[in-house]
């Protein structure tokens, strides 16, 4: 019944549908301020008006740089804060700013954990966000229903795939991303170029699914880039943008009429959407100009194509003018008024997740452990490398003994283990960055809090680090034969464990700060190099220059505590041969105090405690950085935007500057830079 | 230029039949096939003939079948009985859904098939059965592996210098370069850099056109392109296709596989070869395909891109999509008059293939193939590069030097890091002196410098991996030899490494105040330079074997870690267990030699305080022999020369690695595949190779991991 109403009539479409969300936007403009060197402030959107109704699927189309993504971000309330927006966006007749997670937004790239299967991905997401009051059975039903609805049944038990695991196809990935968003049954679904990068069958499938979601009484708004004929035929409404201006808004079918009326009819053997984009894509002007320059233009088929003789900029300007006075624009205005008159339901603004904190933590913990145990690169590869390295170390220092040279050998062995072996943690960096990406996406959608993420990440890595420690610790300890007592072995392992954990936390802090993988490795290696140098092995602690290196760096370095603890654990209570045979034997006490310059006023357990304290502080630092990135950066951007508004007030001509002319003089690629600029994920 | 354009229009106007007439070698030296004067000269140089006859390429293939052996000995027919032709002056597009065999056909025609693929049927070039040598046919791959720091003009002119004959004057080369730039419509961005991860450069469409420009530089008559428009927006795709058409109109034979062309792009095709699961669905004039589909019962609806329609008809994935949609969704399909809604795509494909086999298009094609095969045209042959070895080496060194000096990540970033690290070391060991504790401090300082500082060379790994990609593309196209690459890479890196090590070494040496005297300082920096170069060479050898970047870093770090461990600092030389670790590991480790040399360099001749002031002072020689266990009988210069010879050894290993993966690996893979196939077939041992075409030029699997 509801489906009939929505798809059938245009007017009176969904009055009957109780839960539909009507979206209306009036006179929407967006400006990207730019204060540097008087370069012009860029206008991204220019006085756009329109509406979206339940039961219908709308395509936002335009050449690259036309403002598709900006419009989508604006409507979804995800506009980056440094863009100034004016105009009204009304939900069911009420002006309301959307919080993250209130509406569903599917981004262009599919950020998913590659090791999980499709069903697992959806199930964990459901547990994270559905209210805790739901029983397992209910959640399962919802998950299965969603898998069914998205046509993922066939690949439900296949893993998604990552760099070393072959997984599902691109189209399937996209459908998983959509499935995650429709789990909570949102009223409005926004999608950013869901068909880009897919082959025609997958693109058709994805769009068909979107259409069926819309027919279910939901409002679907999607930007599309170069749809094929089949895909284009599936859209109900079309919003054609160019340079931030409306070229056409209305039913997709009547767009062909509009273009014909405007004097650029679509040839019969042509995909209408190709034709529309061809008419308004000013890049074609540049192409034509260049082709003319290289004297090849004679060859261009002149046949029936009126476009070759007209500059696209001209056609575009004509279309924009024509549209303003066309019956389609009148119809749109009338429909907007009608919608605004409806006293719709207030959409309840649920936050992203309704699950309790504990539920989130346990779900995330399970998911994270599963991911770590399946991803070969995360820990397994490293465990193998650790075992290999510890066998090497163990055989080189095999049965080190109590000779005079053994003093130094024992020290070097301890330093090598705490220094170089922890260095190997860098190997897990790529996997960690993958996980961070998933975190950023889910955080943006309001799935869970920062603290839940950090705690779950720490806890789930715990068993793996323990395995790493136990294997490499046992191998080296018993091959080298440090001490015979078991308690010393326990301390040795605990010490390694603490050091590796610190390094892991440090790498996380680095990962949250650096822009890419390579910088992460370089920064991480640099920091570790400095920590190693100040740890008291390469230069004895008392010899370190007092300012800076001794205080505070050596105290902040986990390495110096690790080495102090290891030395005390190793030497105290042993006796060594002297340098010249016949002299008095050297006691461990003497070695530590006089040869290594380490005070023995506190026990080795205090050293361990210091490492644990450093570990905790790194985790806190990680938390603070994530929080800061989330809260403080947008604050700065808001300030920046406010300044723009003040500037704009001083410049009355702001609204009259036509944006077309300025756009044409920009270099070709600056257009593409605008794409995605406002997407917060960038 | 006027001459050229005239010729062009001639050949464009004349159609296939005309072409053949015109192409018969005409006596008085007029070049047929629309060669520009420049290309003419070039061909004359190549063929060393006064008169160049018809140099256009006519390619025909008949009953082409390609079989691939899979890992379990199963075989799969990727292409089945394809027949077709490509003529000069035409642009042939291979279309089909993914997995239909577009790329395989392209690879088969350009004899680039993977080692485990077997081919039967005839491929004739100008009526002769012969392998296409590199250079006659140009092949543009899907990914653009270009050096990001060079401008478009530089990229093209270096490529010209690498491949054009030395005899050709620079002004001629220059004219050729400029005409290529204009031909590809690159004049607007000729002086813009290509761009890499930190440098914003030209657009994707422009990159693709540069890739094409590089291939047409030697004016090949036959051009293969693998999906030249994928990943481009509609305007760039249109531009690229337009250029390809123009190249074809110039008398060349252009064959490209194209995935989902837009309406504008589709209109530019001359010939269309439509494939579905390895079989011909349609071959003929692109404009006639519309008629064919209508006749076969699948008319293209109005307002639809014909190519979208064709692909929709032959893409069996749509069956799956429909089945899933029907199974999972409550909504039925909206009724439509589309015949495709009534039958499955698999059915439609069958109908189409059958009706093509009996259609006039199929007959016409077969006749044409026969006709073209009869004409025995010129033997098109040329080696990859015409430039001499010295020219190649010189050009490569220069290009790679410019790249290194412009790429911030290659050496400059490392210079900064080195200086930061050495300043840290310098302040920590500041003015180390000759106290008792400074004995150990000097030892650990040297070990840290030679261990961890050289370790930082890993930072240049990503840039080097980029370099390797460019090398593999160019090598595959026969631009230059492995030797030239290895030598030029060594030469061009030298100034940067010298700069880095001398700056870093000087900072470190004078802050720590190691052994006074210029000779000692010189030894230190030379030793540092040699060590860093060894690490570089080691990393290069690693880069040529590991599958990816991460594995490279892990392997490199692991090897260096072990080298460091046996270098004599972490464990004294005499204490290192004899089997494996002492012999031979410690002698393989360059750290060992560096430390041996540096300890001697630093300590011998100095006198140190003893533990307590009343004891006698300790001479450096005593420490060397008893504390660090250094063999003082060997001169430190010998240690240095050992490190230097290691550089040479690693470079040779690098060379062998490349050669090995080029020649031996594909051979082994082909052999294995053949054996598996024979085992499978048992007695019914079919002759896998009916003609010489099956043997593969050795390089093909080297760079291409794809099918």
CB contact under 8 A, A148 and B328: yes
Mean pLDDT of chain A: 81
Looking at the structure, do residues B245 and B119 belong to the same domain, yes or no? yes
CB B682 within 8 A of CB B645: no
Radius of gyration (C-alpha) of chain B in whole angstroms: 32
Report chain A residues whose CB lies below 8 A from the CB of B411: none
**Residue A587 located in a structural domain:** yes
Distance, CA of B82 to CA of B102 (rounded, Å): 12
Please, what's the b/e burial string for B551-570 (b: 16 or more CB within 10 A of its CB; e: otherwise)? ebbbbbbbbbbbbbbbbbbb
**Residue A619 located in a structural domain:** yes
State mean pLDDT over B411-433: 89
Looking at the structure, do residues B408 and B317 belong to the same domain, yes or no? no
**Residue A247 located in a structural domain:** yes
Looking at the structure, do residues B129 and B154 belong to the same domain, yes or no? no
> Which residue on chain A is closest to B628 by alpha carbon?
A405
Determine the pLDDT at residue B602: 92
**Residue A648 located in a structural domain:** no
State mean pLDDT over B204-209: 90
* Cβ-based neighbour number of residue A34 at 10 Å: 13
Determine the pLDDT at residue A303: 44
Distance, CA of B581 to CA of B565 (rounded, Å): 9
Looking at the structure, do residues A483 and A598 belong to the same domain, yes or no? yes
Determine the pLDDT at residue B33: 41
Determine the pLDDT at residue A664: 27
CB A433 within 8 A of CB A511: yes
* Cβ-based neighbour number of residue A631 at 10 Å: 9
CB contact under 8 A, B565 and A395: no
**Residue B24 located in a structural domain:** no
Looking at the structure, do residues A398 and A279 belong to the same domain, yes or no? no
Out of A308, A341, A374, pick the residue that ends a domain: A341
Looking at the structure, do residues A527 and A575 belong to the same domain, yes or no? yes
Looking at the structure, do residues A307 and A387 belong to the same domain, yes or no? no
The model's pLDDT over A447-475, given as tens digits with 9 standing for 90+, comes to 888 889 999 988 999 999 999 899 999 99
Q: Which two tokens stand for residue B658?
A: 């490349």
* Total domain count, chain B: 3
Looking at the structure, do residues A244 and A310 belong to the same domain, yes or no? yes
- Is residue A14's pLDDT more than 50? no
> Which residue on chain B is closest to A212 by alpha carbon?
B331
Looking at the structure, do residues A208 and A306 belong to the same domain, yes or no? yes
DSSP tag of A197 = T
Q: Which residue has the tokens 């240049």?
A: B460
The model's pLDDT over A490-520, given as tens digits with 9 standing for 90+, comes to 999 999 999 999 988 888 888 888 877 777 8
State mean pLDDT over A94-114: 75
**Residue B579 located in a structural domain:** yes
Out of B154, B186, B219, pick the residue that ends a domain: B219
- Is residue A558's pLDDT more than 60? yes
Of the residues B195, B276, B305, B422, the best mutation for testing chain A's interface (the one with the most A CB atoms within 10 Å of its CB) is B305
The residue segments making up the domain with residue B208 are 138-219
A301 touches chain B (CB under 8 A): yes
Looking at the structure, do residues B232 and B210 belong to the same domain, yes or no? no
CB contact under 8 A, A409 and B572: yes
Looking at the structure, do residues A334 and A427 belong to the same domain, yes or no? no
CB B458 within 8 A of CB A566: no
**Residue B33 located in a structural domain:** no
Report chain A residues whose CB lies below 8 A from the CB of B264: 274, 278
Strands (DSSP E) found in A193-316: 219-224, 237-242, 245-251
**Residue B652 located in a structural domain:** yes
Looking at the structure, do residues B107 and B155 belong to the same domain, yes or no? no
> Which residue on chain A is closest to B186 by alpha carbon?
A290
Looking at the structure, do residues B457 and B530 belong to the same domain, yes or no? yes
- Cα-Cα-Cα-Cα dihedral sign, residues A482, A485, A490, A491: negative
In the stretch 413-472 of chain A, residues with CB closer than 8 A to chain B read 413, 415-416, 420, 423-424, 426-427, 430
The model's pLDDT over B299-356, given as tens digits with 9 standing for 90+, comes to 888 888 899 899 888 888 888 888 887 776 554 545 455 666 778 888 889 999 999 9
Q: How many residues does chain B have?
A: 707
Q: Which of A61, A204, A276, A301 is nearest to B265 (CA)?
A: A301
Looking at the structure, do residues A317 and A379 belong to the same domain, yes or no? no
DSSP tag of B660 = I
- Give helix A381-396 / helix B549-565 axis angle, nearest 10°: 10
Please, what's the b/e burial string for B671-684 (b: 16 or more CB within 10 A of its CB; e: otherwise)? eebbebbbeeeeee
CB A408 within 8 A of CB B447: no
**Residue A672 located in a structural domain:** no
Highest average pLDDT, of A311-315, B175-179, B591-595, comes from: B591-595
B580 touches chain A (CB under 8 A): yes
Looking at the structure, do residues B330 and B440 belong to the same domain, yes or no? no
CB contact under 8 A, B576 and A530: no
* Cβ-based neighbour number of residue A154 at 10 Å: 16
Determine the pLDDT at residue B326: 77
Looking at the structure, do residues A78 and A226 belong to the same domain, yes or no? yes
**Residue A638 located in a structural domain:** no
State mean pLDDT over B34-44: 50
Determine the pLDDT at residue A97: 58
Determine the pLDDT at residue B10: 40
CB contact under 8 A, B234 and A538: no
CB B610 within 8 A of CB B616: yes
CATH of the domain at B303: 3.40.50.300
CB contact under 8 A, B561 and A229: no
CA distance to partner chain A, nearest, from residue B234 (Å): 8
Q: Largest Cα–Cα distance of chain B, in whole Å?
A: 111
State mean pLDDT over B396-419: 89
Out of B150, B184, B219, pick the residue that ends a domain: B219
Looking at the structure, do residues B451 and B594 belong to the same domain, yes or no? yes
A537 touches chain B (CB under 8 A): yes
Determine the pLDDT at residue A607: 93
CA distance to partner chain A, nearest, from residue B351 (Å): 20
The model's pLDDT over B77-128, given as tens digits with 9 standing for 90+, comes to 889 889 999 988 899 999 998 888 888 899 888 877 877 788 888 888 888 7
Looking at the structure, do residues B84 and B169 belong to the same domain, yes or no? no
State mean pLDDT over B685-692: 37
Report chain A residues whose CB lies below 8 A from the CB of B244: none
The model's pLDDT over A516-538, given as tens digits with 9 standing for 90+, comes to 777 787 788 888 888 888 888 88
Determine the pLDDT at residue A343: 63
The residue segments making up the domain with residue A539 are 365-630
Looking at the structure, do residues B95 and B185 belong to the same domain, yes or no? no
Distance, CA of B282 to CA of B276 (rounded, Å): 9
CB contact under 8 A, B264 and A274: yes
> Which residue on chain B is closest to A538 by alpha carbon?
B444
* Total domain count, chain A: 2
**Residue B197 located in a structural domain:** yes
Band of residue B15 on the pLDDT scale cut at 50, 70, 90: very low
Distance, CA of B585 to CA of B575 (rounded, Å): 14
Q: Which residue has the tokens 């999906």?
A: B227
Out of A309, A341, A373, pick the residue that ends a domain: A341
Q: Which residues pair with A250 in a beta bridge?
A: A238
Q: Which two tokens stand for residue A173?
A: 């990935």
CATH of the domain at A301: 3.40.50.300
The model's pLDDT over A663-673, given as tens digits with 9 standing for 90+, comes to 222 222 222 22
Looking at the structure, do residues B73 and B170 belong to the same domain, yes or no? no
For this complex, say whether ipTM is above 0.85.
no
**Residue A558 located in a structural domain:** yes
Backbone dihedral angles phi then psi of residue B82, each to the nearest 5 degrees: -90, 140
**Residue B98 located in a structural domain:** yes
Q: Is the previous residue joined to B584 through a cis bond, with omega within 30 degrees of 0?
A: yes
CB contact under 8 A, B303 and A272: yes
Looking at the structure, do residues A437 and A541 belong to the same domain, yes or no? yes
Looking at the structure, do residues B491 and B462 belong to the same domain, yes or no? yes
Distance, CA of A2 to CA of A16 (rounded, Å): 7
Looking at the structure, do residues A335 and A447 belong to the same domain, yes or no? no
The model's pLDDT over B223-260, given as tens digits with 9 standing for 90+, comes to 899 999 888 888 889 989 988 988 888 888 999 999 88
Determine the pLDDT at residue A405: 86
State mean pLDDT over B367-386: 75
**Residue B51 located in a structural domain:** no
**Residue B265 located in a structural domain:** yes
**A258, A331, B418 from A324: Cα distances, Å:** 12, 11, 63
- Is residue A19's pLDDT more than 60? no
The model's pLDDT over B647-668, given as tens digits with 9 standing for 90+, comes to 999 999 999 988 888 788 878 8
Mean pLDDT of chain B: 81
- Is residue A55's pLDDT more than 80? yes
CB B361 within 8 A of CB B292: yes
Looking at the structure, do residues A403 and A488 belong to the same domain, yes or no? yes
In the stretch 403-422 of chain A, residues with CB closer than 8 A to chain B read 405, 408-409, 412-413, 415-416, 420
**Residue A136 located in a structural domain:** no
Q: Which two tokens stand for residue A411?
A: 């020290």
The model's pLDDT over A637-648, given as tens digits with 9 standing for 90+, comes to 777 777 766 665
């Amino acid at each position: 019944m509801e489906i009939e109403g929505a798809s059938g009539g245009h007017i009176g479409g969904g009055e009957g549908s109780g839960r539909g969300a009507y979206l209306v936007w009036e006179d929407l403009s967006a400006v990207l301020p730019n204060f540097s060197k008087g370069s012009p402030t860029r206008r991204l959107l220019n006085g756009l008006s329109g509406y979206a109704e339940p039961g219908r699927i709308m395509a936002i189309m335009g050449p690259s740089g036309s403002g598709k993504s900006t419009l989508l971000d604006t409507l979804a309330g995800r506009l980056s804060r440094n863009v100034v927006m004016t105009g009204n966006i009304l939900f069911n007749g009420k002006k309301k700013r959307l919080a993250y997670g209130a509406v569903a937004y599917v981004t262009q790239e599919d950020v998913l954990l590659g090791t999980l299967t499709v069903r697992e991905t959806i199930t964990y997401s459901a547990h994270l966000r559905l209210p805790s009051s739901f029983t397992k059975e209910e959640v399962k039903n919802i998950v299965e229903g969603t898998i069914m609805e998205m046509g993922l049944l066939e690949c439900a038990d296949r893993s998604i795939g990552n760099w070393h695991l072959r997984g599902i196809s691109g189209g399937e990935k996209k459908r998983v991303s959509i499935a995650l968003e429709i789990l909570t049954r949102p009223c409005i679904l926004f999608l950013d170029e869901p068909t880009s990068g897919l082959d025609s069958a997958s693109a058709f499938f994805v769009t068909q699914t979107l259409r069926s979601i819309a027919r279910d009484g939901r409002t679907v708004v999607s930007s599309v880039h170069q749809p094929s004929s089949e895909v284009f035929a599936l859209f109900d409404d079309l919003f054609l943008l160019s340079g931030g201006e409306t070229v056409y808004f209305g039913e997709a079918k009547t767009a062909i009429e509009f273009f014909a009326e405007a004097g650029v009819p679509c040839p019969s053997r042509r995909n209408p959407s190709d034709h529309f984009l061809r008419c308004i894509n000013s890049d074609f002007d540049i192409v034509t100009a260049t082709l003319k320059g290289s004297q090849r233009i004679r060859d261009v088929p002149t046949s029936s194509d009126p476009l070759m003789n007209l500059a696209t900029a001209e056609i575009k300007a004509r279309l924009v003018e024509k549209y303003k006075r066309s019956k389609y624009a009148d119809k749109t205005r009338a429909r907007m008024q009608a919608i605004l008159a409806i006293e719709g339901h207030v959409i309840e603004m649920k936050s992203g997740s309704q699950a309790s904190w504990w539920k989130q933590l346990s779900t995330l913990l399970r998911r994270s452990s599963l991911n770590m145990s399946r991803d070969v690169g995360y820990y397994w590869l490293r465990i193998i490398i650790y075992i290999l390295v510890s066998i090497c170390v163990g055989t080189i220092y095999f049965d080190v003994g109590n000779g005079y040279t053994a003093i130094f050998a024992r020290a070097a062995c301890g330093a090598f283990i705490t220094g170089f072996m922890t260095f190997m943690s860098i190997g897990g960096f790529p996997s960690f960055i993958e996980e961070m990406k998933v975190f950023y996406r889910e955080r943006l959608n309001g799935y869970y809090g920062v603290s839940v993420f950090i705690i779950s990440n720490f806890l789930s890595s715990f068993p793996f680090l323990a395995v790493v420690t136990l294997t490499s610790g046992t191998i080296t300890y018993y091959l080298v034969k440090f001490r015979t007592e078991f308690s010393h072995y326990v301390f040795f392992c605990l010490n390694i464990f603490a050091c590796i954990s610190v390094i892991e936390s440090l790498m996380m802090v680095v990962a949250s700060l650096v822009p890419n993988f390579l910088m992460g490795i370089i920064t991480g290696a640099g920091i570790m190099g400095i920590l190693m140098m100040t740890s008291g092995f390469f230069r004895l602690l008392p010899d370190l220059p007092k300012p800076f290196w001794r205080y505070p760096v050596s105290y902040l370095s986990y390495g110096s505590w690790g080495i102090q603890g290891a030395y005390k654990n190793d030497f105290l209570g042993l006796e060594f041969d002297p340098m010249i045979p016949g002299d008095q034997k050297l006691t461990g006490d003497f070695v530590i105090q006089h040869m290594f310059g380490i005070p023995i006023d506190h026990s080795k357990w205090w050293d361990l405690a210091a490492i644990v304290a450093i570990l905790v502080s790194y985790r806190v630092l990680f938390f603070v950085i994530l929080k800061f990135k989330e809260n403080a950066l947008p604050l700065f951007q808001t300030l920046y935007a406010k300044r723009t508004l003040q500037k704009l007030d001083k410049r009355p001509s702001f609204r009259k500057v036509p944006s077309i002319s300025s756009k044409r003089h920009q270099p070709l690629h600056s257009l593409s830079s605008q794409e995605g600029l406002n997407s917060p994920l960038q | 230029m006027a001459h050229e354009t005239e010729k062009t229009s001639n050949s464009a106007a004349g159609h296939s039949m005309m072409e053949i007439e015109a192409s018969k070698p005409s006596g008085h030296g007029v070049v047929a096939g629309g060669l520009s004067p420049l290309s003419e000269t070039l061909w004359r140089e190549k063929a060393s003939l006064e008169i160049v006859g018809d140099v256009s390429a006519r390619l025909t293939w008949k009953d082409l079948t390609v079989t691939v052996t899979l890992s379990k000995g199963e075989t799969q027919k990727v292409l089945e009985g394809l027949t077709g032709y490509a003529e000069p002056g035409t642009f042939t597009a291979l279309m089909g859904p993914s997995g239909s065999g577009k790329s395989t056909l392209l690879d088969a025609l350009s004899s680039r098939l993977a080692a485990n693929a077997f081919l039967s049927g005839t491929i004739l070039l100008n009526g002769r059965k012969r392998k296409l040598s590199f250079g006659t046919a140009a092949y543009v791959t899907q990914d653009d592996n270009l050096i990001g720091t060079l401008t478009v003009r530089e990229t093209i002119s270096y490529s010209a210098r690498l491949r054009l004959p030395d005899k050709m004057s620079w002004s001629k080369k220059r004219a050729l370069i400029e005409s290529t730039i204009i031909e590809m419509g690159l004049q607007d961005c000729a002086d813009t850099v290509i761009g890499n991860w930190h440098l914003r450069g030209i657009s994707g469409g422009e990159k693709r056109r540069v890739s094409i420009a590089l291939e047409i530089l030697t004016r090949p008559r036959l051009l293969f392109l693998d999906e030249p428009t994928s990943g481009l927006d509609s305007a760039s795709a249109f531009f690229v296709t337009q250029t390809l058409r123009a190249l074809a109109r110039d008398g060349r034979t252009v064959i490209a596989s194209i995935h989902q062309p837009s309406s504008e792009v589709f209109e530019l095709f001359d010939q269309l070869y439509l494939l579905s699961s390895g079989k011909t669905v349609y071959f003929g004039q692109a404009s006639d395909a519309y008629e064919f589909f209508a006749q076969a019962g699948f008319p293209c609806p109005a307002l639809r891109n014909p190519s979208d329609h064709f692909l929709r008809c032959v893409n069996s994935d749509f069956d799956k999509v429909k089945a899933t949609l029907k199974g999972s969704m409550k909504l039925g399909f909206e009724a439509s008059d589309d015949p495709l809604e009534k039958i499955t795509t698999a059915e439609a494909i069958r109908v189409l293939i059958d009706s093509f086999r009996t259609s006039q298009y199929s007959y016409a094609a077969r006749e044409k193939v026969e006709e073209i095969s009869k004409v025995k045209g010129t033997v098109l042959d040329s080696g990859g590069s015409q430039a001499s070895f010295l020219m190649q080496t010189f050009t490569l060194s220069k290009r790679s030097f410019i790249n290194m000096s412009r790429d911030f990540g290659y050496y400059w970033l490392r210079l900064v890091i080195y200086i930061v690290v050495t300043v840290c070391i310098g302040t920590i060991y500041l003015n180390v002196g000759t106290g008792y504790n400074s004995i150990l401090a000097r030892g650990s300082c040297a070990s840290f410098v030679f261990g961890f500082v050289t370790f930082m060379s890993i930072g240049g790994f990503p840039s080097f991996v980029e370099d390797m990609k460019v090398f593999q593309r160019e090598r595959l196209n026969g631009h230059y030899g492995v030797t030239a690459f290895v030598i030029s890479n060594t030469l061009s890196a030298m100034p940067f490494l010298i700069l880095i090590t001398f700056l870093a070494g000087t900072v470190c040496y004078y802050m720590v105040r190691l052994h006074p005297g210029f000779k000692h300082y010189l030894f230190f920096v030379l030793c540092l330079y040699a060590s860093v170069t060894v690490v570089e060479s080691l990393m290069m050898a690693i880069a040529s074997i590991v599958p990816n970047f991460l594995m490279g870093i892990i392997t490199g770090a692991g090897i260096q870690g072990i080298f460091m461990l046996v270098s004599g600092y972490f464990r004294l030389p005499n204490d290192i267990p004899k089997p494996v670790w002492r012999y031979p590991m410690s002698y393989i480790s360059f750290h060992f030699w560096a430390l041996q040399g540096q300890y001697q360099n630093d300590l011998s001749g100095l006198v140190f305080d003893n533990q307590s002031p009343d004891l006698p002072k300790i001479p450096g020689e005593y420490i060397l022999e008893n504390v660090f266990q250094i063999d003082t009988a060997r001169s430190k210069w010998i240690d240095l020369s050992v490190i230097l010879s290691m550089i040479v050894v690693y470079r040779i290993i690098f060379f062998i690695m490349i050669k090995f993966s080029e020649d031996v690996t594909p051979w082994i893979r082909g052999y294995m595949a053949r054996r598996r196939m024979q085992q499978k077939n048992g007695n019914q041992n079919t002759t896998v190779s009916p003609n010489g075409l099956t043997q593969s030029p050795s390089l093909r699997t080297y760079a291409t991991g794809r099918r």
